[in-house]
């Protein structure tokens, strides 16, 4: 029988930027496959061009996309993970936060893997604190009246991105991370969603041993 499930294409042994895509699909109860044939898939087709993994493809409707934020935004639209209220403005704000989170992810990863001090300056020198303050402010918008998610009681695709960011930061910087009660509260709220609790029972690590904090 022809394969009909959507596929997430990513590297083997860790989940990295594909983690929020896996988590959203689990939360939505969507069956999918995980392909590690990155080098065959990223350039090896005649359809819409994709560059770096994660890639998402669905044989049902022919969609093929890369860029974590674009994949999450697409899945958010088709599986009901967009902000409930506020129409296009809230959707654009959700998109802004998704891109902010992707920027922090990239900066944190690059600093840990490329900087001579292994990201120590990024982590303790103010830049990460500035980002954390920004994300805390985003969480404050709804935390007083509702919460626990970025847009209140309803989880959005950007919440999966934020959850993955915190997993990534903990992996890379561990106890050096700035304090942030709101981000921790958000982290716990996401982690206790039934599908994610289940996901964590068998999931691969978010990153690999050579860039783990204190390694």
Ligand X SMILES: N[C@@H](CCC(=O)N[C@@H](CS)C(=O)NCC(=O)O)C(=O)O
Asked if 168 is part of the footprint of ligand X (rule: CB under 6 A), the reply reads no
One residue of 6, 15, 17, 156 binding ligand X per CB under 6 A: 17
Angle of helix 87-114 versus helix 157-173 axis, rounded to 10:
20
Mark residue 27 as left, alpha or beta (left: phi above 0; alpha: psi -120 to 50; beta: remaining).
alpha
Q: How many CB atoms lie within 10 A of CB 110?
A: 12
Using CB under 6 A as the binding rule, the residues of this chain from 51 to 70 that contact ligand X are 52-54, 67-68
Asked if 16 is part of the footprint of ligand X (rule: CB under 6 A), the reply reads yes
Asked if 92 is part of the footprint of ligand X (rule: CB under 6 A), the reply reads no
When the beta carbons of 17 and 171 are compared against ligand X, the nearer one is 17
Asked if 112 is part of the footprint of ligand X (rule: CB under 6 A), the reply reads no
As measured in angstroms, the least distance from the Cβ of 33 to ligand X is 19
Closest CA relative to residue 17, chosen from 29, 9, 5, 25: 9
Using CB under 6 A as the binding rule, the residues of this chain from 129 to 158 that contact ligand X are none
Q: Is the peptide bond before 148 cis (omega within 30 degrees of 0)?
A: yes
- The footprint of ligand X (CB under 6 A) covers 16-17, 52-54, 67-68, 102
């Amino acid at each position: 029988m022809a394969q009909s499930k959507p596929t997430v294409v990513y590297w083997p042994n860790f989940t990295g930027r594909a983690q929020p895509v896996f988590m959203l699909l689990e939360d939505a109860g969507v069956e999918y496959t995980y392909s590690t044939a990155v080098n065959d898939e990223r350039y090896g087709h005649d359809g819409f061009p994709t560059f770096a993994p994660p890639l998402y493809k669905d044989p049902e409707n022919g969609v093929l996309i890369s860029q974590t934020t674009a994949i999450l935004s697409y899945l958010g639209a088709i599986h009901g993970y967009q902000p409930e209220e506020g129409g296009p403005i809230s959707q654009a704000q959700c998109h802004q936060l998704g891109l902010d989170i992707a920027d922090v992810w990239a900066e944190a990863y690059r600093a840990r893997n490329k900087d001579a001090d292994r990201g120590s300056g990024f982590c303790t020198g103010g830049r990460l604190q500035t980002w954390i303050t920004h994300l805390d402010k985003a969480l404050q918008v709804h935390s007083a009246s509702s919460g626990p998610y970025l847009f209140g009681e309803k989880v959005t695709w950007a919440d999966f991105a934020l959850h993955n960011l915190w997993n990534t930061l903990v992996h890379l910087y561990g106890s050096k991370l700035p304090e942030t009660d709101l981000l921790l509260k958000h982290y716990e709220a996401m982690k206790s969603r039934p599908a994610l609790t289940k996901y964590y029972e068998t999931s691969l690590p978010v990153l690999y041993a050579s860039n783990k904090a204190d390694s």
